Amino acid sequence: MRLLHTSDWHLGRSFHRENLLDAQASFVDHLVDTVRAERIDVVAVSGDLYDRALPPVEAVRLFDEALRRIRDTGARAVLISGNHDSMVRLSYATDLIDAAGVHVRSSLDSVGEPVLIDDEHGSVAFYGIPYLEPEIARPHWGLERRGHAAVLGHAMDLVRADLAGRPAGTRSAVLSHAFVSGGEPSDSERDISVGGASHVPASVFDGVDYTALGHLHGRQTMAETVRYSGSPLAYSFSEEHQVKGYWILDIGPSGVAAAEFAPAPVPRPVARIRGRIDDLLTGERWEAYTGHWLQVTLTDPLRPAFPMDRLRERFPHTLVLDFAPEDRQDGDGGTWRQRTADRSESELVLDFVDWARGAPPTEDERELVASAFEDIRRQEADR
């Protein structure tokens, strides 16, 4: 059996106000082509199908199209909800769409009940464990311990108990959306620490042949049979060096026989660059970034005029602009109260101008600030 492991599609997400739906549609195109070319039998999607619980209509249409096209290849699909998804909404009509070969597992009641898919060696049991919010799952199962490790541990106990009752030789795969200890996060994952410690050990998944993880956006191997596929697109600049794609695995008669990561094309790469504006606008080494989504940090001692407009003439996809002037000495190390104890309101405003621009305010600006505060004092006196 050939398994394709993917996750964290986040359909409907934007990137610093850039609409990603076209890029996500291109990913779906490549995914379907890969499923067909690699003769994939099962596509496993480990959560965060959408970017929010109430996704936009266009995202729902793309998701519907993706599932239909996957089924058109002859492959089956097993999916779980993630912490960005609505567990209840995704569990709607699951019994009906099961018959179509699309198996969405988004309910606490279905944990431990596998989707059985056969090949020439017998059955592979796919256990879907949706994202488990501890303070929802704990009372549902009557658990005393709090936290992610407790609820996910109980879910895996249900999986192992069911597997123990299956015929000898039944192979198994778990889909789970969780933060495994030792994993490297990105800036784009939503914090899941509310309700208890967010990390769980990789050992919680012992006893199954493969665990297809979702939540972290970079591909990672936590153990030989416990892996993150990562997100198909970069959703933060911290992901600039990540290779996006999916795991393709061969499941033989004794479990996972081979695993290979298949890179997927990225419609527009992301990068972070820094330097003085004149060098960025003229230096040949920056030419390679003209088609990237960019986070630019300017290091000019003085803040340049109209920096974003100028940068976008060469780098039209600049999205974020930061300033880190070279050799800037900020403050004397004292507390805010200590540094401002003897400063008037107008002096604090002028200090801010100096800090933000990297140059002292002009005499005209000093007079303007003084006049503004005089007007404020006059208005307060007239009340």
Q: pLDDT tens for residues 311-343?
A: 999 999 999 999 999 865 555 556 656 666 777
Cα separation, 220 vs 234, in Å, equals: 15
Q: At residue 195, does pLDDT exceed 80?
A: no
Q: At residue 205, does pLDDT exceed 90?
A: yes
Cα separation, 149 vs 147, in Å, equals: 6
Average pLDDT, the chain: 91
Cα separation, 67 vs 31, in Å, equals: 11
169: left (phi over 0), alpha (psi -120 to 50) or beta: left
What is the percent of the chain with per-residue pLDDT over 70, rounded to a whole number? 93
Residue 332 CB partners (closer than 8 Å, separation 6+): 339
The confidence score (pLDDT) of residue 88 equals 93
- Average the pLDDT over each of 183-192, 209-218, 268-277 and give the range with the smallest value: 183-192
Q: At residue 29, does pLDDT exceed 50?
A: yes
Cα separation, 2 vs 129, in Å, equals: 21
How are beta strands 179-180 and 199-200 bridged, if at all? parallel
Q: How far is CA 187 from the centre of its chain?
A: 8
The confidence score (pLDDT) of residue 376 equals 85
Q: pLDDT tens for residues 346-380?
A: 888 887 887 777 678 888 888 898 888 888 888 87
How would you list the strands of the sheet with 270-275, edge to edge? 270-275, 293-298, 318-323
Average pLDDT over residues 257-264: 97
Q: At residue 240, does pLDDT exceed 50?
A: yes
Q: Among all chains, which residue has been given the structure tokens 């990225």?
A: 266
Return the DSSP state at 208.
Answer: S
Residue 300's pLDDT band, with cuts at 50, 70 and 90, is very high
pTM: 0.84
Q: Where are the domains of the chain?
A: 2-263, 269-328, 336-383
Q: At residue 193, does pLDDT exceed 70?
A: no
How many CA atoms lie less than 13 Å away from 283 in the CB half-sphere?
Answer: 13
Q: At residue 196, does pLDDT exceed 50?
A: no
Beta bridge partners of 247: 5, 261
Q: In the CATH scheme, what is the code of domain 2-263?
A: 3.60.21.10
Residue 42 CB partners (closer than 8 Å, separation 6+): 1, 2, 3, 4, 75, 76, 77, 78, 117, 124, 126
Q: At residue 150, does pLDDT exceed 90?
A: yes
Measured CA distances, 1 to 75, 249, 277 (Å): 11, 8, 54
Measured CA distances, 269 to 20, 218, 300 (Å): 12, 15, 26
